[in-house]
Amino acid sequence: MAGHLLLYGLLLSPPLTTGWTVPNCLVTEGYRLPLASRFFLPCLLDSRLTKVVACYMVNNLTRTLEAVPQDVEGLCLFGSIPVLPQDAFSNFPRLQVLGLSLHITQLLPGALRGLERLREISFITPPSREYLFLLPDVFSDLISLQQLYFLGPCLERNSHVRLPPSLRQLAVKYSCLRDVGQLADIFPDLVHSNSSEDAWTLDVLNLSFNADLKMASPGALWGLKLGTLNLDHTKLEAAAVVGLGLQRLDTLSMKFTATVELPAEAVAHFELQTLTLENNKIGHIALEVLASCHSLKSLSLQGSGLTELPSGFLAAMPGLQRLNLAGNQLQSVMLCVNETGDGSGLWTLNLSNNGLHTLLPATFSCLPHLRELLLQRNKLVRLDGQIFQGLWRLETLNLDGNPLVELGEGWLAPLPALTTLNLLDTRTVLSPTWGSWGLSSLCNLSLGLPSVHTGITLSLPTRLISLELCAISGMKHWELFPEVFPVLQTLTLDVWGLQLRTQNISRIFPALRQLSLLGNSLEALCSQDTSSFFLWYLPRLQSLIVHRNGHNPRPCRITGLPSLQELKLKTLGSRAQPRLVLLEELVGELPRLQVLELANMGLETLSAAAFQGLGSLQVLVVDWEKGLVLDPSLQELSPQMPQYMFILSSSLACQCANAWVGPWLERFSRTYMHIQKTQLCHAEAGDLSKKPLFPFLQSHCPQTLELGLFLGSSALLFLLILLPLLQEARNSWVLYLQALLRVWFQGLRGRRDEGKDFLYDVFVSHCKQDQGWVVRELLPALEGCPPDGQGLRLCLPERDFEPGKDVADNVADSMASSRVTLCVLSLRALRTPRCRLELHLATSLLLAASRPPLLLLVFLEPISRHQLPRYHRLARLLRRGDYYLWLEEEEKRAGFQAWLRSRLGSPG
């Protein structure tokens, strides 16, 4: 009976679109990672991955991984699994990035087997001196591994661990490493002979944040070819690097290492191309030291305590392309004193966060190749055109945070290639005649608007692609000159007061794609009637960000944007008069919206009404909300809900209104919803003990009428889906069910008595078109008298069915009265409803009966199993000798006769 019911369910059940959730895991596509990136830290995943998963509180690895989709490409696990078992990830053949923050102390042999496509693996533990034991061949199965990271665990008790030949980046950070020589003992592949063909090559060796690392045994890394060596936050001196025996080193990074002088010896020895010495105590650089640095292409001395630069600083490094001098105490720079012409090939110069108050004329005249000049957060008061003489290739100029009060006439005229200009947080008095600044190539402009007592018209270049305007809170409104910005795509308005006529917005910004509103008030953007809504009509706008408000007494409804795909709303309520809001008060008709992010909005309830105008929504992110209620109306909206709902750093209200959520997520919703499982409820009033949210609600809240109605309506829906199938005439499903039930009631479902007599020996199923073959070939061989025939009693539908009797009854009675069922199959027969019914019933009985009846198949022509209807493919379960392919050749007919005798036996 059980086998029959299983078959019956397989035949009748249509494909279901069910809900899916991964307990304690967050699942998303790689390109959606920015929406929840903080929940994947410190495991960094590639946004190009198709599907990524982060699982928390993992204490049973097998149970956790059973729920993870097998097509995952990036996986991060956080919890406590001391021993990684064999074949732990063999069910994830597409896995490319794996992060393990599991306090692992040991990996069993074969723990990483089956990860042939893995490109990156990280072992992450808090820097707590936990030891990780590695077998010598632990990474032998990772034939594609390129990046191997140990972030925290101690490795000093390991030795002879072999590295994959494909490895390009190795990191041992936050570890107990004291001597670089220990690394060679752990990974002997890093040390090679003098011959270049044996040398191991790594793009990056990262030993940063090893607080005890201060020794480097001579020749510890002999023969190793390195692209980058990172020694940030260690105590190792640059002189020790020279003695490591490295065959090649291109980049050396030593941030926060208490270095007191430029490591000229290391630069000269390796002919370094990049040197990073940020946040050290260099203070002064001697010109003779620079003589050894001619190979440098990039030099960073940020935060190194420099007060001045030696004369000829750039001349000593003619190949230098990037120079970072930010965060020092430079009050003036003399880069081009007594230098003219193409004296330097510098491309990028960073002088930000210094004390520069004056720039002499022709300060940068020896930098004809300069593309980027960063001067933000200095003390510059006045600028004129003579300062920028010679910078005819400059593209980016950043003056943010300078107290500029005077700009000379045509001060930007020497910069014909300038495309990006930042004048935020300055005291610049803007000229109404902006065109006199000579900005024919300007594409990106960031501009601070100073406070004015009366309204002023702001005239801007009309060929801008990106515009950011920042103004002082409480200032008088500026009025934008009614020009058209035909190519402007990105507009950012920060703490602003800009008067724009809403009816002209679409004409002023016809190409706008991204809009960020970071102001204190939305009064200029929202109607002030009883149903406030967004007034700007931007037909091509795709991204809208509105946040950091805190002064709106009532919400502003974003609607009427036909192309909007991404909407981010943050802190739009009033801090003085906080109130709870509904999502439908915040968003309206946005037919193409795909991503909706809400943070700290005072959201009270999510209901079906909020999604009626969001037919294309794919991802909903709710962050920093408290006491959220998911309205039961969402159950009815389940097929139209977004695919992903992330409730991050938010809590659901411990109310019976949320009791339906747990069962709904597990059974009926197509939406993946991530809710923090640590949410608790007080067990009883006045009781300090707490219990998990969903189990508590399900045990303390009565089953609501709404949930019962939902379950009933779901069952009715499935019945309605099945109805068209059941209406497919009596020649198919209905006939089959009728015949199957009749056979069951007659006791043919495996309960035949061994000694039962049969009316017929063979029931022959065939179509009308194949009747000639049956009469010509089959009848003489079976019903004929010996020795030519077997003398069997055959039941033929056209001859032996009872006239006027129902087809299903005839089929059931004939099969019940026959010892053997023989089906004559051809492509014509498979298109005949009655033959399909008979074969369907015969194969079903073959599987369901405890003592199966004999079923024989005769194929009159070759038929692929893929040409069989799916419920007839059960015939492939027959034994090899239970079917025969008929061939017309005379010599083959004797074999057919012998097969029939062997399978049918004697009469009776």
Mean pLDDT lowest among 154-168, 283-297, 336-350, 711-725: 711-725
Which of 374, 382, 381 lies closest to 400 in space, CA to CA? Answer: 374
- Is the pTM above the cut of 0.75? no
pLDDT at 46 over 90: no
355 band by pLDDT with thresholds 50, 70 and 90: very high
Q: At what angle do helices 705-726 and 733-745 cross, to 10 degrees?
A: 100
pLDDT score of 750: 45
For residue 629, the cross-strand partners are 605
Q: What is the pLDDT of residue 528?
A: 65
**CA–CA dist 487, 464 (Å, integer):** 7
**Whole-number percent of the chain with pLDDT over 90:** 39
578-582 long-range CB contacts below 8 Å, 24 or more apart?
578/602, 579/554, 580/604, 581/555, 582/607, 582/609, 582/610
| pLDDT reported for residue 142 | 96
Identify whether the C-beta of residue 622 lies closer than 8 Å to the C-beta of residue 596: no
13-19: which pairs have CB atoms within 8 A and are 24 or more residues apart? 14/718, 14/721, 14/722, 14/725, 17/639, 17/670, 18/667, 18/668, 18/670, 19/638, 19/664, 19/665, 19/666, 19/667, 19/668, 19/669, 19/670, 19/671
Tokens of 624: 């920093």
Separation in Å, CA 809 to CA 12, 522, 804: 21, 76, 11
Per-residue model confidence (pLDDT) at position 385: 81
Give me the amino acid identity at 817.
Answer: S
Q: Residue 81's Cα: distance from chain center in Å?
A: 25
Mean pLDDT on 338-348: 71
pLDDT above 60: residue 11: no
pLDDT confidence tier of residue 533, bands split at 50, 70 and 90? confident
pLDDT at 601 over 60: yes
pLDDT at 592: 95
pLDDT reported for residue 871: 47
pLDDT band at residue 791, thresholds of 50, 70 and 90? confident
pLDDT (tens digit per residue) in 544-597: 998 876 666 667 889 889 999 999 999 887 666 677 888 988 899 999 999 999
Comparing C-alpha atoms, which of 499, 409, 492, 508 is closest to residue 446?
492
Could you tell me the CA-to-CA distances from 762 to 794, 818, 908 in Å, in that order? 5, 6, 10
Alpha carbons within 13 A on the beta-carbon side of 719: 6
Percent residues over pLDDT 70 in the chain: 79
- In 615-660, which residue ranges form alpha helices assigned H by DSSP? none
Pair 104, 84: CB distance under 8 Å? yes
What type of residue sits at position 876? R
The more confident residue out of 787 and 401 is 401
Q: What pLDDT was estimated at residue 407? A: 83
Q: What is the pLDDT of residues 673-698, one digit of tens each?
A: 888 766 778 665 555 567 788 788 87
Mean pLDDT of 767-785: 85
Nearest alpha-carbon partner for 822 in 864, 868, 853, 783: 853
| Residue range 854-897, pLDDT digits in tens | 788 888 888 776 666 654 445 455 555 677 888 776 666 778 88
Higher pLDDT, 694 or 149: 149
DSSP track, 363-398: TTTT-TT--EEE--SS---EE-GGGGTT-TT--EEE
224-255 pLDDT per residue, tens: 999 999 999 999 999 999 999 999 999 999 99
Q: Which pLDDT tens digit goes with each residue over 822-835?
A: 888 888 888 888 88
Lowest mean pLDDT among 30-39, 206-215, 526-535, 865-874: 865-874
What's the pLDDT at 198?
65
- State residue 717's pLDDT score: 72
* 3-class SS of residue 649: coil
359: pLDDT strictly greater than 70: yes
First vs last Cα of the chain: how many Å apart?
Answer: 28
On the question of pLDDT at 434 being above 80, the answer is no
Distance CA 283, CA 305 (A): 5
pLDDT at 722: 65
Q: Which pair of structure tokens corresponds to residue 465?
A: 């692609």
Burial pattern 696-721, b for ≥16 Cβ within 10 A else e, equals bbeeeeeeeeebeebeeeeeeeeeee
Q: How far is CA 734 from CA 52, 54, 841, in A?
A: 46, 48, 12
- Specify the pLDDT at position 2: 32
Omega cis (within 30) before 702 = no
| Amino acid at position 446, single letter | S
CB–CB of 476/449 below 8 Å?
no
Helix, strand, or coil (residue 864)? coil
Q: pLDDT: is 211 or 847 the higher one? A: 211
Distance, CA of 543 to CA of 545 (rounded, Å): 7
> What pLDDT does residue 13 have?
28
* pLDDT score recorded for residue 759: 85
Average pLDDT over residues 197-209: 88
pLDDT at 751: 46
Average pLDDT over residues 506-516: 91
Over residues 724-751, mean pLDDT = 52
pLDDT exceeds cutoff 60 at 505: yes
| DSSP output for 54-88 | EEEEES-HHHHHHHS-TT-SEEEEEE--SEEPTTT
Q: What is the rounded average pLDDT for all residues in the chain?
A: 82
Q: Which two tokens stand for residue 315?
A: 């001349």
- Average pLDDT (286-308) is 92
Whether residue 4 has pLDDT greater than 50: no
What does the pLDDT average to over 383-412?
89
573-578 contacts: CB < 8 A, separation 24 or more? 573/549, 573/601, 573/602, 574/550, 575/550, 575/551, 576/551, 577/553, 578/602
β-strands 690-692, 672-675 pairing: unpaired
